[in-house]
């Protein structure tokens, strides 16, 4: 029987998302690198899809898929790991079981072929969560997991690749039983200090899974993911702030993290798939039991979904309100100095500007300016202006509506009215694109 989620839609029986690292613009890659990445993503995603379609469980699938990506020199994990400043590899990985909350992680491995499998053994064979450095390598020996000689890893230099790009790998899965799991594996950041550990082996930063919410894997500047507990924050926002998974991830990608920091893949317990990045590119792919199968090297708008009104999820930041109120208050100052040109500065310099007053619409900046100058030929007629009761209403990520009351003192004759401004954010700043103003009592004669 198909599952129904809270909005009454059928949910996929199983779903899988993978990433192969966030970073530079794939349009700048050469053909060889593009092909290697695409092939690698398709191969790993196909294996994951087939495993899940045959009833494979979430944890096994995460391990299987990450092992494939670790063995692929096109990615910065396992075989293709980048080197430290000292010219060696130090591998990090973690895995988490959303059903039980168990997790395991390894950091600073130098000889393990598949760090994700060792992380899983830390989870199942020890009372610990994270093993690092020498002890982790010794645990690998004791567990008889395959070890490799150092030259196994130096493949990074053989792949035509001069970009200091990221290429961490991750996988999150919802299996057909409703269990979630997540895993991440990496060589870390290129030329890192020996001993540096990133977010990938830190549960709650680079990896997280809990059956009541979601499974998450991150990629990017690990220090930022640790500072902001990124992977856990996706689940926490769903759990405590009742956000859906798209909104939770968008908030982190667009507000918590600076642009250019990285990406997130996630699956909610009802099978919603999320892939988002705030870097120019992110290698990623998704498949589910409804037949979806896709891989990408970059996503439009960084994968941020548009809402039904065509706007993205990102609300206008509090800074926007500050910036706009500054503009408007400066207008009052300019008006009261008798300077209409300065007053008009925040208006959009375009023929598409609209100004509506007294039932008449004026189109274009020049005509609006001329209209003002005609109605208010001198400082005397301009009087003393004040704005009151400003109300801000966000219209998506790049537009704002401002409602307010204007008051004009002139020859002891107070005038008063309402205005509605629509502002849009342009690269050069916020501009008024529409202004509607009316007097009280208004043009209809209503009091
Ligand atoms: N997050 C990884 C780290 O900081 C790097 C990456 O994702 O590219 O180790």
Per-residue pLDDT tens over the stretch 295-340: 999 999 999 988 766 666 555 667 788 889 999 999 999 999 999 9
Between these two residues, 204 and 395, which has the higher pLDDT value? 204
Ligand 1 atom closest to the CA of 262, numbered from 1: 7
Ligand 1 atom closest to the CA of 166, numbered from 1: 8
Residue 6 has pLDDT above 50, yes or no: no
Nearest residue (CA) to ligand 1, atom 8: 166
Over residues 155-177, the pLDDT tens digits come to 555 444 555 557 999 999 999 99
List the CATH number of the domain containing 364.
3.10.450.50
Q: At 143, is the pLDDT very low, low, confident or very high (cuts 50, 70, 90)?
A: very high
CA of 174 relative to ligand 1 center, distance in Å: 23
Task: Give the pLDDT confidence score for residue 353 in this predicted structure.
Answer: 96
Range with the poorest average pLDDT among 14-18, 165-169, 246-250? 165-169
Asked whether 406 lines ligand 1 (CB < 6 A), one says no
CA of 376 relative to ligand 1 center, distance in Å: 61
Do 160 and 277 belong to one domain?
yes
Do 22 and 49 belong to one domain?
yes
Residue 1 has pLDDT above 50, yes or no: no
CA of 221 relative to ligand 1 center, distance in Å: 5
CA of 288 relative to ligand 1 center, distance in Å: 26
Do 409 and 262 belong to one domain?
no
Judge whether 272 counts as a catalytic residue.
no
Asked whether 188 lines ligand 1 (CB < 6 A), one says yes
Ligand 1 atom closest to the CA of 225, numbered from 1: 1
**Tally of domains within the chain:** 2
Asked whether 285 lines ligand 1 (CB < 6 A), one says no
Do 291 and 356 belong to one domain?
no
Do 190 and 256 belong to one domain?
yes
Residue 268 has pLDDT above 80, yes or no: yes
Residue 5 has pLDDT above 80, yes or no: no
Asked whether 166 lines ligand 1 (CB < 6 A), one says yes
Task: Give the pLDDT confidence score for residue 319 in this predicted structure.
Answer: 78
Ligand 1 atom closest to the CA of 220, numbered from 1: 7
Percent of the chain with pLDDT over 90: 77
- Considering the domain boundaries, does residue 447 fall inside one? no
pLDDT, averaged across the chain: 90
Do 49 and 93 belong to one domain?
yes
CA of 419 relative to ligand 1 center, distance in Å: 50
Task: Give the pLDDT confidence score for residue 443 in this predicted structure.
Answer: 47
- Considering the domain boundaries, does residue 309 fall inside one? no
- Its domain, for residue 169, covers 13-303
On whether the pTM is more than 0.85, the answer is no
Mean of the pLDDT values across residues 210-234? 97
Percent of the chain with pLDDT over 70: 90
HEC-encoded secondary structure of the chain:
CCEECCCCCEECCCEEEEEEEEECCHHHCCHHHHHHHHHHHHHHHHHHHHHHHCCCCHHHHHHHHHHHHHHCCCCCCHHHCCCCCCCCCCEEEEEEECCCCCEEEEEEECCECCHHHHHHHHHHHCCCCEEEHHHHHHHHHHCCCCECCHHHHHHHHCCCCCCCCCCCEEEEEECCCCCEEEEEEECCCCCCCCCCCCCCCCECCCEEEECCCEEEEEEECHHHHHHCCHHHHHHHHHHHCCCCHHHHHHHHHHHHCCCCCEEEEEEECCCCEEEEECCCEEEEEEEECCCCEEEECCCHHHHCCECCCCCECCCCCHHHHHHHHHHHHHHHHHHHCCCHHHHCCCECCCCCCEEEECCEEEECHHHHHHHHHHHCCCHHHHCEEEEEEEEEEECCCCEEEEEEEEEEEECCEEEEEEEEEEEEEECCEEEEEEEEEEECCCCCCCC
Asked whether 200 lines ligand 1 (CB < 6 A), one says yes
Do 254 and 370 belong to one domain?
no
- Considering the domain boundaries, does residue 242 fall inside one? yes
Nearest residue (CA) to ligand 1, atom 4: 222
Last residue of a domain, one of 269, 303, 337: 303
Task: Give the pLDDT confidence score for residue 426 in this predicted structure.
Answer: 87
Residue 27 has pLDDT above 80, yes or no: yes
CA of 272 relative to ligand 1 center, distance in Å: 24
Do 176 and 46 belong to one domain?
yes
Asked whether 189 lines ligand 1 (CB < 6 A), one says yes
Do 251 and 353 belong to one domain?
no
Task: Give the pLDDT confidence score for residue 153 in this predicted structure.
Answer: 87
Do 145 and 72 belong to one domain?
yes
CA of 48 relative to ligand 1 center, distance in Å: 22
Task: Give the pLDDT confidence score for residue 48 in this predicted structure.
Answer: 98
- Considering the domain boundaries, does residue 311 fall inside one? no
Task: Give the pLDDT confidence score for residue 359 in this predicted structure.
Answer: 85
Range with the poorest average pLDDT among 7-11, 54-58, 115-119, 127-131? 7-11
List the CATH number of the domain containing 65.
3.60.20.30
- Considering the domain boundaries, does residue 7 fall inside one? no
Asked whether 198 lines ligand 1 (CB < 6 A), one says yes
Asked whether 222 lines ligand 1 (CB < 6 A), one says yes
Over residues 363-415, the pLDDT tens digits come to 999 999 999 999 999 988 899 999 999 888 887 778 899 999 999 998 778 88
Task: Give the pLDDT confidence score for residue 150 in this predicted structure.
Answer: 86
Task: Give the pLDDT confidence score for residue 9 in this predicted structure.
Answer: 52
Query: Which residue of the set 11, 61, 112, 168 is catalytic?
Result: 168
Do 245 and 369 belong to one domain?
no
Asked whether 199 lines ligand 1 (CB < 6 A), one says yes
Do 324 and 292 belong to one domain?
no
Asked whether 21 lines ligand 1 (CB < 6 A), one says yes
Mean of the pLDDT values across residues 268-289? 96
Asked whether 357 lines ligand 1 (CB < 6 A), one says no
Mutate to test the pocket of ligand 1, among 200, 201, 229 (most ligand atoms within 8 A of CB): 200
- Considering the domain boundaries, does residue 276 fall inside one? yes
């Amino acid at each position: 029987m198909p599952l129904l989620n809270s909005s009454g839609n059928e949910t996929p029986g199983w779903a899988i998302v993978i990433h192969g690292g966030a970073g530079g613009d794939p349009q700048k890659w050469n053909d060889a690198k593009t092909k290697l990445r695409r092939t690698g993503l398709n191969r790993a995603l196909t294996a994951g899809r087939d495993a899940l379609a045959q009833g494979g469980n979430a944890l096994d699938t995460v391990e299987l898929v990450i092992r494939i990506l670790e063995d692929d020199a096109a990615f910065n994990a396992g075989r293709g790991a980048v080197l430290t400043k000292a010219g060696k590899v130090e591998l990090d990985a973690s895995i988490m079981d959303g059903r039980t909350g168990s997790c395991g992680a390894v950091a600073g491995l130098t000889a393990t072929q598949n760090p994700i499998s060792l992380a899983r053994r830390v989870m199942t064979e020890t009372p610990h969560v994270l093993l690092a450095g020498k002890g982790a390598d010794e645990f690998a020996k004791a567990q008889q997991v395959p070890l490799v000689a150092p030259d196994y890893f130096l493949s990074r230099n053989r792949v035509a690749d001069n970009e200091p790009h990221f290429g961490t790998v991750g996988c999150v899965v919802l299996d057909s039983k409703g269990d979630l799991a997540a895993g991440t594996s990496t060589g870390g950041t290129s030329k890192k200090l020996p001993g540096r550990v990133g977010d990938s082996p830190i549960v709650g930063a680079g990896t997280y899974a809990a059956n009541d919410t979601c499974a998450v894997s991150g990629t990017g500047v690990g220090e930022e993911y640790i500072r902001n507990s990124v992977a856990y924050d996706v689940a926490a926002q769903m759990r405590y702030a009742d956000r859906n998974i798209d909104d939770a991830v968008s908030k982190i990608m667009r507000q918590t993290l600076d642009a250019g920091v990285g990406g997130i893949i996630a699956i909610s317990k009802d099978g919603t798939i999320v892939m988002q990045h705030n870097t120019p590119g992110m290698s990623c792919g998704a498949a589910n039991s409804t037949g979806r199968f896709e891989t990408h090297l970059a996503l439009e708008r960084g994968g941020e979904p548009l809402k039904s009104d065509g706007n993205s999820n990102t609300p206008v930041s509090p800074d926007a309100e500050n910036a706009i109120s500054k503009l408007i208050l400066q207008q009052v100052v300019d008006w009261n100095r008798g300077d209409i040109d300065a007053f008009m500065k925040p208006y959009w310099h375009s023929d598409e500007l609209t100004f509506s007053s007294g039932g008449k619409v004026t189109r274009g900046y020049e005509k609006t300016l001329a209209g003002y100058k005609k109605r208010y030929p001198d400082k005397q007629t301009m009087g003393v202006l004040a704005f009151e009761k400003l109300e801000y209403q966000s219209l998506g990520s790049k537009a704002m509506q401002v409602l307010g009351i204007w008051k004009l003192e002139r020859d002891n004759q107070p005038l008063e009215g309402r205005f509605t401004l629509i502002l849009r954010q342009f690269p050069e700043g916020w501009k008024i694109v529409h202004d509607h103003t009316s007097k009280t009592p208004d043009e209809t004669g209503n009091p």
